[in-house]
Structure 1
Amino acid sequence: MSTSTDVRLAVLGCAGVGKSAVVVRFLTNRFIWEYDPTLEATYKHEVVVDEETISLEIFDTAGQDESGSWTAWADALLLVYDITERASLTHASHIKALAARPLPVVLLGNKIDLEHTRQVSFEEGEQAAMELGAGFFECSACTSEGGLSEAFLELARETRRIRAAQSRPRRRSSTTHVRQAFSKMLTKIGS
């Protein structure tokens, strides 16, 4: 297995959606009941994606996403919303608009363990993700249900795919080859 460069993921969403709980669940497989909602933190974690070891650097924001401090730093975005709070989905869509450049994005609906108070249907979340050009998962950081880990792995996979595509040498189109061949032929005929 080879190791690629770090993939920097910014975890964004409004206060109270469970960003820190999602990150901690992913890193430790534990749920935290109490935390300081004003703290930003960066974590490093290695994962294996498609037989390649990738070092993730995860920036857990403190819900102050409008500062844009993540825009130049991040390689990918995990936008978290709370399925029991409709406004948090709108906020997640607003955050994506702040990105200074196109980035891989996954929209993650958290708190599916609170289905009885759901305000955002699965279909609405899926539709919002399509409009954002993002992947989509739902999960519960509390119970570990759903696609929490898959959301992080999908972002690592997509970032790796984009980097691989950018590093491949570009081939000239067949039209360019034909044009050059005719130009050489005409040059030889003309001389």
Structure 2
Amino acid sequence: MTTNFTLPRPLRRAGSLASTRTVRIVILGQAAVGKTALTVRFITKRFIGEYDPTLETIYRHELSVGGEVVRFEILDTAGQEEDALLIEEKIKWGDGFVIVYSVTDRCSFDEVMRLCFLVNHVHAASRRSSMEPPPVVIVGNKKDLEFDRMVTTEDGENLSKGLKLRFREISAREGCEETAEVFHALYRDVLQLLSCSPTSFRRRAVSKLMEKIPRIHSTSTSSSTLGPSGRSFSFSSFRDLPQD
């Protein structure tokens, strides 16, 4: 059944807003599963044709959700093997998590459970026992590549049910509505946890590691942002595929 879904409009003048709730989201998953495609699809409604798979970026995007101004800070991780301390710092930074696999890659699906347990382990070590685990959404991407599929929808549903987590199977290539709903659902879960355990969301200090990750503000999509590494980033540098 198809439901009508209206995307909220981005807010252009952030400086004029009275108050803004900030939510930090970390995108996890193996390389080449579509983490950047998912993130930029949500922010710009564009689908990325080519990009650097090793690039790690924090995207900042403000919009109105349910009448409330929300600043999404989204960490798009590279998805490559790295030091355990590095991945733990990134997990500590996040309020909610999107764990992505490709339905065309069984290995990326097998990695999901490990990442889910890692998220819970890292947050459990830094919270009181009475607090709930952080919100997580499992996302199966590339469902449009049906002839290359190696992971069934039922596989994803069974895993999410076993872990008691939300599950979405999407195509970042084909549309932006189901992609946006991933982030909206995660935001709703963050709000619910906030109402139950306010101390779960004490704003944590940003480590030196996190400060080194380049930032991109969605209000500057036509201009470049110079990151601490000296490299220049902009949404306009990505090559788009045809729109829906």
Q: Return the TM-score normalized by structure 1.
A: 0.81
Shift in alpha-carbon separation, 1:2–1:139, aligned structure 2, 3 A: farther
* Identity between Structure 1 and Structure 2 (%): 40
**Partner residue of 2:70 out of 54, 59, 67:** 54
Counterpart Cα distance in 1 of 2:45 and 2:192:
27
- Match for 1:130 among 121, 146, 161? 161
1:20 alignment counterpart: 36
Deviates more, 1:13-22 or 1:143-152: 143-152
Question: Structure 2 unaligned runs (5+)?
Answer: 1-16, 124-132, 200-244
C-alpha contact (below 8 Å) 1:40/1:59 kept by paired residues: yes
Q: Residue 147 of structure 1: SS of its match in structure 2?
A: helix
Which position in structure 1 is the counterpart of 2:110? 90
Q: Counterparts of 1:146 and 1:109 in 2: how far apart (Å)? A: 15
Paired with 1:91 and 1:3, the residues of 2 have a C-alpha distance of 38
2:45–2:176 Cα contact (<8 Å) kept? no
SS of the aligned residue for 2:52 comes to coil
Specify which structure has the higher proportion of helix: 1
**CA 1:20–1:166 in 2, change beyond 3 Å: closer, same or farther?**
same
Unaligned 5+ segments in structure 1 are: 169-191
**Corresponding residue SS for 2:154:** helix
Question: Does structure 1 conserve the Cα–Cα contact (< 8 Å) formed by 2:102 and 2:141?
Answer: yes
Shift of 1:53: 2.0
Paired residue for 1:35? Answer: 51
Alignment TM-score, normalising by the size of structure 2: 0.64
Tell me if the contact between 1:138 and 1:148 (Cα under 8 Å) persists in the aligned partners: no
User: How big is each residue's C-alpha offset from its partner over 1:86-126, in whole Å with a ceiling of 9 and x where there is no partner?
Assistant: 11111121111112122100001100110111111111101
1:105–1:133 CA contact under 8 A, matched in 2: no
In 2: Cα distance, 1:134 partner to 1:2 partner: 34
SS at match of 1:107: strand
Q: Residue 81 and residue 3 in structure 1: after superposition, are their counterparts in 2 closer, same or farther (change >3 A)?
A: farther
Does 2:97 align with 1:77?
Answer: yes
| SS of equivalent to 2:89 | coil
Question: Match of 1:160, as an amino acid?
Answer: L
Q: How many residues align structurally?
A: 168
Determine the structure 1 residue equivalent to 2:240.
none
The list of structure 1 runs, each at least 4 consecutive aligned residues, that deviate by more than 4 angstroms after superposition, is 1-4
Once the two structures are superposed, what CA deviation does each residue of 1:38-69 show, in whole Å capped at 9, x if it has no partner? 11000111233332221110000000375323
- Structure 2 contact 41–176 (Cα < 8 Å) conserved: no
